[in-house]
Amino acid sequence: MSLETILPPERVLYDVPGGSKKRVLEFFSTFIAQNTPSLDSQEVFSRLVGRERLGSTGIGNGVAIPHARSPHCSSPIAGFLKLAEPVDFDAIDGDPVDLVFVLLVPEEADDTHLALLGQVASIMNNVDTRQQLRKATSQRELLDFLTSKIREQLASQ
């Protein structure tokens, strides 16, 4: 399964208000529940926060990959947020986060979950990719660049 198939254009969000880690997770939970009838915003938020309690999903270099399993999720769902202002995400390097890639997967999706997390981490670990995502000045630019990086990574596998 490719990230491109689970990240439609309407889930690549530009200039999202941050404020705090909690607010970012609340924003995404509300947004995804409005667009996915089977999901409840409070349940999604609770699962994302529960995962954060196990350890921050801030992987460093201004990137976070919050992720959770949901019994109401029939297939993996992804969202990408470029925050208007970086927020403290308790990242491993202590740097604030402005690039957030969110993953929700079905309760039983072990291998798929890990493969998708690996794809995201691989893309976001590239310094040039992060710089280009930060330079994007519109949702379209952000989407086009992110899609091209996902396709490049898929082609190299």
In angstroms, the CA 24 to CA 40 distance is 16
What is the dihedral sign for C-alpha 76, 52, 81, 16? Answer: positive
For residue 28, the surrounding DSSP H or E stretch is: helix 21-35
- Selected catalytic residue, list 11, 21, 67, 82: 67
- Helix and strand numbers (H, E) in the chain are 6, 6
Per the annotation, the verdict on 72 as an active-site residue is no
φ, ψ at 76 (rounded to 5°) = -60, 145
For residue 43, the surrounding DSSP H or E stretch is: helix 41-54
Just list the catalytic residues: 67
